[in-house]
C-alpha cells in the first residue's frame, strides 16, 4: 500500500493547506503534478481520509474544459482517479452515466465548461475543477458550480490550472476564501521524461510562455503600460550581431539600506544595422556605493564597453567619484533627469514599437518592470530602477542629446 500512500510521496505544494478555506487553487506548470494533486484530494474526500476530510463526501463534481478532458485526464489519465486508487478503493467508472461511484457510496458526476447549464440542478459537497484558466465559459461555469456546492457541513473545491491572466483566475486569487499553491514544472523532474526539462527549459526559460507554462506564474500586461510583452517577445533574439557601440548604464540608489531602491545596471549595444540590443540586466538591491561601482566597472570591462552612463540626480559628482575610485580610466557619461520618468521613457518605448530595440535572451525582472510601468509608475509604488537604467542606455545609444537627457562627459 506504500505506493498509494499519497502523504508519503506528495510534495508540500501538492497537499491541501490547513485552515478554513473554500477554494484550494493549485497553479502549476506543465507536468508539475497538479492533476495528481487534484485527483488525490478527490480520492481523500470520497473515502473520508483524514486529514483531508472528516467523513466521506456524498456528491462530488468533476468539471473540465470538455467532457473528453474530464474522461481522458481527470478520470482515465496516468494521474487520474482510476490510476491512483488501490484496487479495493477504486471507484466504478460508468461512462454512459458520466459518473464514478466509490465503495464508500460517494458519487462523482462529470461536467463540461462548454455547458454551464449542465451544472444547474445537481448539488455537491465537494468539487474538482481542472484547467479553469482554459474554460470557454469560465465565469458562467464557475458561478453555476458555486450554486451547487450546498451539501455537507463545509463544501470545498480544488481548482488546478496552468495560469493565464483571465478574469476568473484573478478573481479567485483575490478572494480571501482562496488558498493558493504554486508548483513549477522542475519540482516534478523525477516523474518527467529524461531530457524534457533540458530541452524545453533551455528553449523557453525566462520567456513569457516559459514563465507561464513551466513556472506556473500569472503573467499579464498592465493596460496603461508603455511596453507590451508580446512586442518584446517578438523582437527577442538569441545571438548578438556585430556592435558598433556598447554602454553600461547605472541608476544608483540614494541609500544602501535593505529597503532602499535597487541599483539599476543595464548593458546595451548599438548594432551596425542601427538596432539597439539589450545584453544584460545586472540590477541588484542593497548595494553600497563601492559595490555597485565595482559591478558597473566589471560590466564595462567584461563587455568592452565604450562608456559608462550614470544618472547623478541622487549623488551628483559623488557618483563619478565613486566610479573613479574603482578605475579612474573608465569614461563616465553623467546624465541628469530634468523631466519625469514617463516622459523620459516614452521615446525609448517608441523605438521598441518601431522594432529598433531587441533583447538578447531573457531578462524577466527588467521586462516585468517595463510591462508594469504606467503614468503613475509601477503598481507596487517602488522605483523602476531597472527600467531607468535601460532608458538611459538606449537614450545614450540612439537618442543622443536631443531633448532628454542632458549629457555631460567627464
Sheet of strand 406-409: strand arrangement: 357-359, 276-281, 264-271, 243-251, 307-311, 332-336, 406-409
Residue 157 DSSP class? E
- Coil/strand/helix, residue 20: coil
What is the per-residue pLDDT across 179-232, written as a single tens digit (0 to 9) for each?
Answer: 999 888 877 777 888 777 777 766 777 676 677 777 777 777 778 889 988 889
| Residue 80 main-chain phi, psi, to 5 deg | -80, 180
Task: Give all strands of the β-sheet with 59-64 in edge-to-edge order.
Answer: 92-94, 99-101, 107-112, 59-64, 126-130, 156-161, 23-28, 178-183
80 pLDDT tier (thresholds 50, 70, 90): very high
- Contact assessment for residue 229 and residue 46, using Cβ atoms and an 8 Å cutoff: no
In which element (H, E) is residue 220 found? none
Judged by average pLDDT, the poorest of 90-94, 195-199, 278-282 is 195-199
Stretch (H or E) spanning 391: helix 385-394
Provide the whole-model pTM: 0.63
Position 400 scores a pLDDT of 66
- Output phi, psi for 107, to 5 deg: -130, 130
**Phi/psi of residue 332, nearest 5 degrees:** -105, 130
Amino acid at each position: 500500500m506504500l505506493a498509494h500512500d499519497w502523504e508519503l510521496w506528495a510534495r508540500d505544494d501538492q497537499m491541501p493547506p490547513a485552515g478554513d478555506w473554500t477554494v484550494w487553487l493549485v497553479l502549476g506548470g506543465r507536468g508539475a503534478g497538479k492533476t495528481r494533486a487534484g485527483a488525490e484530494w478527490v480520492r481523500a474526500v470520497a473515502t473520508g481520509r483524514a486529514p483531508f476530510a472528516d467523513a466521506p463526501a456524498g456528491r462530488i463534481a468533476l468539471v473540465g474544459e470538455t467532457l473528453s478532458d474530464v474522461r481522458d485526464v481527470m478520470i482515465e489519465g496516468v494521474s487520474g482517479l482510476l490510476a491512483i486508487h488501490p484496487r479495493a478503493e477504486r471507484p466504478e467508472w460508468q461512462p454512459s452515466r458520466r459518473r464514478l461511484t466509490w465503495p464508500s457510496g460517494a458519487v462523482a458526476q462529470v461536467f463540461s465548461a462548454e455547458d454551464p447549464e449542465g451544472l444547474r440542478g445537481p448539488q455537491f459537497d465537494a468539487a474538482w475543477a481542472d484547467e479553469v484558466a482554459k474554460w470557454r465559459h469560465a465565469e458562467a461555469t464557475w458561478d453555476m458550480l458555486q450554486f451547487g456546492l450546498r451539501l455537507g457541513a463545509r463544501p470545498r473545491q480544488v481548482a488546478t490550472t496552468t495560469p493565464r491572466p483571465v478574469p476568473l483566475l484573478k478573481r479567485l486569487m483575490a478572494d480571501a476564501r482562496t488558498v493558493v499553491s504554486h508548483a513549477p514544472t522542475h519540482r516534478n523532474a523525477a516523474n518527467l521524461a529524461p531530457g524534457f526539462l533540458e530541452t524545453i527549459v533551455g528553449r523557453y526559460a525566462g520567456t513569457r510562455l516559459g514563465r507561464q507554462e513551466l513556472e506556473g506564474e500569472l503573467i499579464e500586461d498592465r493596460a496603461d503600460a508603455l511596453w507590451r510583452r508580446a512586442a518584446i517577445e517578438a523582437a527577442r533574439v538569441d545571438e548578438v550581431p556585430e556592435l558598433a557601440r556598447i554602454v553600461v548604464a547605472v541608476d544608483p540608489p540614494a541609500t544602501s539600506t535593505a529597503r532602499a531602491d535597487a541599483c539599476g545596471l543595464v548593458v546595451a549595444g548599438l548594432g551596425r544595422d542601427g538596432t539597439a540590443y539589450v545584453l544584460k540586466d545586472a540590477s541588484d538591491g542593497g548595494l553600497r556605493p563601492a559595490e555597485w561601482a565595482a559591478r558597473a566597472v566589471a560590466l564595462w570591462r567584461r563587455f568592452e564597453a565604450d562608456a559608462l552612463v550614470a544618472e547623478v540626480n541622487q549623488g551628483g559628482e559623488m557618483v563619478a567619484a565613486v566610479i573613479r575610485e574603482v578605475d579612474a580610466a573608465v569614461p563616465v557619461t553623467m546624465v541628469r533627469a530634468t523631466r519625469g520618468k514617463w516622459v523620459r521613457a516614452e521615446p525609448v518605448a517608441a523605438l521598441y514599437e518601431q522594432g529598433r530595440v531587441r533583447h538578447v535572451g531573457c531578462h524577466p525582472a527588467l521586462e516585468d518592470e517595463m510591462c508594469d510601468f504606467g503614468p503613475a509608475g509601477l503598481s507596487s509604488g517602488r522605483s523602476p530602477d531597472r527600467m531607468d537604467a535601460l532608458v538611459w542606455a538606449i537614450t545614450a545609444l540612439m537618442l543622443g542629446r536631443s531633448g532628454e537627457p542632458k549629457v555631460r562627459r567627464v
